[in-house]
């Protein structure tokens, strides 16, 4: 493993492996990270039904987990951003519940579940950190579900996106926003056309700017007023 790959120099380590465990040397984490995987855009880390063995933490890039339904639609369970853990929903059943795919050239750290749990047993603050992360995930799901109209869904999705991107890199003005209209729709239960139209409305209202793969939020307050419970 290259030195500058280690948790010690990782810019998202404070998010994924928390401040609260500053007591531990970073090397304790480097030991449980079994490998860091460089991913090309479009390649998958695991697939639906694979046996659950590890969490993955996003080092850089953006990922999605999706399933293909019988009638051929792609359903995106969730997107994952830098510093975030992947695989919480697989612990209980013991297998991954979709394909994990990189939206851009990306890198994930593989964290074998068994070693992680073992470390949790000896480090209570790490255990609590895990529980908080899972708690946060549960709360986020609820928030997104409560918005029903298309403009509410898009607004809360954008707020969710920017707040999660801000966590690892504050004070951004422009965001790299690689997901397609179709992917956003497949995540929110809308068609790509409806996503486009809603973006157009938000653009005309000077609330956002979205060209190519770049997103700019001009009026966060207005977005918040369009959605519930941030």
Contacts to DNA by CB under 7 A: 149-151, 180-182, 185, 189-194, 196-197, 199-200, 210, 212
Q: What are the distances in angstroms from CA 222 to CA 155, 164, 181?
A: 9, 18, 21
Question: Binding to a second copy by residue 97, rule CB under 8 A?
Answer: yes
Question: Binding to a second copy by residue 91, rule CB under 8 A?
Answer: yes
C-beta of 204: minimal distance to DNA in Å? Answer: 9
* Unique residue bearing structure tokens 């304790």: 28
Question: Binding to a second copy by residue 89, rule CB under 8 A?
Answer: yes
Question: Binding to a second copy by residue 9, rule CB under 8 A?
Answer: no
- Determine the Cα–Cα distance for residues 88 and 49; give it in Å rounded to an integer: 15
CB 46 within 8 A of CB 108: no
- Determine the Cα–Cα distance for residues 128 and 170; give it in Å rounded to an integer: 25
Q: With CB cut-offs between 5 and 8 Å by kind, which of a second copy, DNA, none does residue 24 bind?
A: none
Which stretch in 100-108, 113-121, 168-176, 204-212 sits in contact with a second copy by CB under 8 A? 113-121
- Determine the Cα–Cα distance for residues 101 and 40; give it in Å rounded to an integer: 9
Binding pattern for the stretch 174-203 against a second copy, x by CB under 8 A and - elsewhere: ---------------x--------------
Q: With CB cut-offs between 5 and 8 Å by kind, which of DNA, a second copy, none does residue 150 bind?
A: DNA
The 8-class DSSP code of residue 95 comes to B
Enter the tokens of residue 193. 């056309």
C-beta of 171: minimal distance to a second copy in Å? Answer: 23
Q: Computed from CA positions of residues 209, 157, 205, 166, in that sequence, does the dihedral angle turn out positive or negative?
A: negative
- Determine the Cα–Cα distance for residues 150 and 157; give it in Å rounded to an integer: 10
> Which chain residues interact with a second copy by CB under 8 A?
67, 69, 75, 77-78, 88-93, 97, 117, 120-121, 124, 127-128, 130-139, 141-142, 144-146, 148, 189, 228-229
């Amino acid at each position: 493993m290259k030195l500058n790959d280690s948790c010690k120099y990782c810019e998202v380590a404070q998010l994924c492996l928390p401040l609260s465990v500053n007591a531990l040397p970073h090397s304790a984490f480097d030991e449980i990270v079994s490998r860091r995987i460089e991913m090309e855009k479009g390649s998958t880390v695991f697939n639906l039904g694979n046996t659950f063995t590890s969490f993955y933490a996003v080092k850089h890039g953006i990922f999605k987990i999706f399933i293909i339904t019988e009638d051929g639609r792609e359903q995106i369970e969730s997107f994952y951003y830098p510093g975030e853990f992947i695989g919480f929903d697989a612990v209980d059943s013991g297998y991954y519940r979709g394909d994990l795919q990189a939206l851009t050239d990306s890198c994930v750290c593989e964290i074998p579940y068994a070693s992680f749990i073992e470390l949790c047993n000896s480090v209570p603050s790490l255990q609590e950190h895990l529980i908080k992360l899972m708690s946060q995930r549960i709360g986020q799901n609820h928030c997104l579900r409560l918005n029903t109209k298309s403009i509410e869904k898009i607004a809360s999705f954008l707020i969710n996106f920017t707040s999660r991107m801000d966590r690892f890199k504050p004070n951004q003005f422009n965001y790299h926003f690689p997901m397609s209209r179709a992917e956003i729709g497949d995540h929110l239960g809308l068609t790509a056309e409806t996503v486009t139209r809603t973006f157009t409305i938000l653009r005309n209202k000077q609330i956002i700017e979205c060209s190519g793969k770049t997103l700019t939020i001009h009026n966060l307050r207005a977005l918040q007023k369009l959605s519930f419970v941030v």
